[in-house]
Amino acid sequence: MVQSVLLVFAMDAEAQPLIQALGLTEDAPPKIVGPAPCVTFSGQHGDLQVHVVWNGKDKDTGVDNVGTVPASLSTYLAVMAFKPDVVISAGTAGGFKAQGAAIGDVFLGTAVINHDRRIPLPSFDKYGIGYSLCLATPKLRSHLGLKQGVVSSGNSLDYTDKCMEIMGQHQVAVKEMEAAAIAWACNLYHVPLMCVKAVTDIVDGDRPTSEEFLENLHAAAAALQATLPRVLTEMAGKKLSEL
Fill in the amino acid letter for 111. Answer: A
178: annotated active-site residue: no
Fill in the amino acid letter for 96. Answer: F
26: annotated active-site residue: no
Calculate the alpha carbon distances from 214 to 198, 223, 242 in Å: 14, 15, 37
At residue 43's C-alpha, the angle toward residues 179 and 218, to 5°, is 50
Distance (Å, rounded) from C-alpha 96 to C-alpha 213? 14
First-to-last C-alpha distance (Å) of the chain: 11
Distance (Å, rounded) from C-alpha 93 to C-alpha 130? 19
User: What are the DSSP calls for 106-136, one per residue?
Assistant: EEEEEEEEESS----STTHHHHHHT-EEPPP
Crossing angle of helices 12-22 and 209-235, in 10° steps, is 30
Q: Exactly one of 64, 176, 201, 212 is catalytic; which is it?
A: 201
Q: Exactly one of 12, 14, 64, 165 is catalytic; which is it?
A: 14
- Active-site positions read 14, 201
